Amino acid sequence: MSVDAVYHRGPLFKEVFGECWENLRWLFQTENAVLTLAGSGTAGLEAACASFIQPQEKAIVIRGGKFGERWFKICQSLGIRAIPLDVPWGQAAQPAQLDALLQLHPDTRAVLWQASETSTGVVHPTQELVQVVRARGDILTLVDGITAVGVYDLPQDALDIDVLVCGSQKALMLPPGLAFVSASERAWRAGERGGCPRYYFSLQREREQQTAKLQQTAFTPAISLIFGLRESLRMLREEGLAPLFARHDQLARAARAGGQAMGLSLFAQKPSHATTALSLPANVDGNALGKRLREGYGVTLGGGQDQLKGKIVRIGHVGYFGPFDIITAISALEMGLCDLGYSVTLGQGVGAAQAVLRS
Ligand SMILES: Cc1ncc(COP(=O)(O)O)c(C=O)c1O
């Protein structure tokens, strides 16, 4: 990423971008074009809505956490009639509930959800949700895969996901700043009706520019990040999809085992492979714990947001993580909890995590 920012209409950039283009399709497990945008993951979410859904159309949004709320707000801001399917935070969406809501709103044009809702550490059942949608006709499925693509097996084409969105700073192990969107023929057809008013985030324009023939972005790309992307995709290909998913699975199981062994319970009903959310005891202030870990031990864990502020702690294990990152996190958590007066036997959580990581 520290190479010169080369001319983005020249041959070297085309070569780098072309390699990324192919490898992104491998990562998304799709024959579709995977478009790269300069912007954080949210840019990809907004571009997807604006490019494939019309203002005033109905879109059902599964809202079970901070990022479900975000997609709901994006729809509202674009004039799309967003219908919430509220799921209690910590729980996974139920396909039967989606089916009932679709029956109530037969004119729904799209259904949107997170494959992994990072704020609660929950995995929604994407495969079952897509099946419910498909059974109800020509409705688009838009899936936020920001902490799912490259984390667990989510083959876009095999699952028949219309639009899949990802960002650079999670499984791709890069700094933030790139969003990736891949869309099916069904989505492109829906987009022919015009979509919402937009300029920069027109996926149609990007598609024209980024096809295998041109290998260019419509506007100046985030050149350094794309050089980084080439390398991170090479690293992922070297690792292979099955080992990549197995690594995330094992790290997640170790984090869960460690947390549970120190007496904490899992917040998520169906826990994600990207992050482990642990409920804190009522007498432990999560904000004080976060500060203690950061300032006392140099370890940063995620906290809860909004209604979960101070109530959960989240251990990240998406992307550039290995066994000792989990051991470190669990060990620091034990020490921090002890410091705040919570009774925990030091080493118990670490031992449980080690047992998973050895196997
Ligand atoms: C599931 C999910 N969706 C959306 C976002 C927002 O992405 P960004 O912060 O890159 O805009 C995040 C960020 O963590 C996320 O985890």
118 lines ligand 1 (CB under 6 A): yes
Q: Give the pLDDT confidence score for residue 170 in this predicted structure.
A: 98
Answer for the pair 174, 236: CB distance below 8 angstroms, yes or no.
no
Q: Among all chains, which residue has been given the structure tokens 């899936």?
A: 143
Measured in angstroms, how far is the CA atom of residue 358 from the centroid of ligand 1?
A: 32
Cβ of 305 closer than 6 Å to ligand 1, yes or no, is: no
Cross-strand partners of 86: 63
| 213 pLDDT above the threshold of 80 | no
Take atom 8 of ligand 1 and give the residue whose Cα is closest: 41
Ligand 1 geometric centre to CA of 100 (Å): 28
Q: Is the CB of 167 under 6 A from ligand 1?
A: yes
Q: Which of 216, 246, 234 is nearest to 174 (CA)?
A: 234
- In this prediction, residues 40-65 reach a mean pLDDT of 98
The response to whether residue 40 sits with its C-beta less than 6 Å from ligand 1 reads: yes
> Is it the case that residue 198 has pLDDT exceeding 90?
yes
Tokens of 251: 């790290």
Please tell me the predicted confidence (pLDDT) of residue 205: 95
pLDDT at 359 (0 to 100): 79
Per-residue exposure over 294-314, b if at least 16 CB sit within 10 Å of its own CB, e if not: eeeeebebbbbbeebeebbbb
**pLDDT value at residue 333:** 98
Strands (E), the chain: 34-38, 58-63, 81-86, 108-114, 116-117, 122-123, 140-144, 163-167, 178-183, 265-266, 275-279, 302-303, 312-316
- The alpha carbon of 64 and the centre of ligand 1 are apart by a number of angstroms equal to 14
223 near 13, Cβ under 8 Å?
yes
Q: What secondary structure does DSSP assign to 87-138, as a single string?
A: --TTS---HHHHHHHHHH-TTEEEEEEESEETTTTEEP-HHHHHHHHHHTSS
Give the pair of three-digit tokens for residue 94: 């139920």
Regarding the beta carbon of 175 and ligand 1, being less than 6 Å apart is answered no
Average pLDDT of the residues in 258-278: 97
Q: Which atom of ligand 1 is nearest to the CA of 41?
A: 10
Q: Are strands 275-279 and 265-266 parallel, antiparallel or unpaired?
A: antiparallel
For the CA of 169, the closest atom of ligand 1 is: 10
Lowest average pLDDT, out of 92-106, 160-174, 201-215, 322-336, goes to 201-215
> 175, 163, 169: which is closest to 207 by C-alpha?
163
| pLDDT tens, position by position, 107-164 | 999 999 999 999 999 999 999 999 999 999 999 999 999 999 999 999 999 999 999 9
Select from 129, 123, 173 the least CA-distant residue to 145: 123
pLDDT score at 79: 98
pLDDT digits (tens, 9 = 90+) for 301-321: 999 999 999 999 999 999 999
For residue 97, is pLDDT > 90? yes
Residue 147 near ligand 1, beta carbon < 6 Å = yes
In total, the chain counts a number of residues equal to: 359
Dump pLDDT digits (tens) for 282-307. Answer: 999 999 999 999 999 999 999 999 99
The answer to whether residue 212 scores a pLDDT higher than 80 is no
List C-alpha distances in Å: 227 to 210, 212, 222, 354: 16, 18, 9, 36
Structure tokens belonging to residue 38:
């300069």
Residue 187: in which H helix or E strand, if any? helix 185-191
Average pLDDT, stretch 320-334?
Answer: 98
**Residue 211, pLDDT score:** 86
The minimum-distance atom of ligand 1 relative to the CA of 70 is 4
What six digits make up the tokens of 280?
Answer: 């804190």
pLDDT at 317: 97
Q: What mean pLDDT do residues 221-242 have?
A: 98
Residues 194, 54: contact at Cβ < 8 Å?
A: yes
Half-sphere exposure of 308 (CA within 13 A, CB side): 23
Residue 326: both structure tokens together? 């989990």
Q: DSSP string covering 275-293, please?
A: EEEEEPPTTS-HHHHHHHH
Q: Are 105 and 137 in contact (CB under 8 A)?
A: no
Q: How sure is the predictor about 215, in pLDDT bands with cuts at 50, 70 and 90? A: confident
Structure tokens at 113: 């959800």
146 Cβ closer than 6 Å to some ligand 1 atom: yes
At residue 289, the pLDDT reads: 97
Rounded CA separation 179/40 (Å)? 6
Confidence class for position 206, pLDDT limits 50, 70, 90: very high
* Distance from the first to the final alpha carbon of the chain: 36
pLDDT score, position 335: 98
Place of tokens 């990022």: 67
To the nearest whole number, what is the mean pLDDT of the chain?
97
Closest residue (by CA) to atom 16 of ligand 1? Answer: 118
Bridge partners (DSSP) listed for residue 36: 180
- Any atom of ligand 1 within 6 Å of the Cβ of 120: no
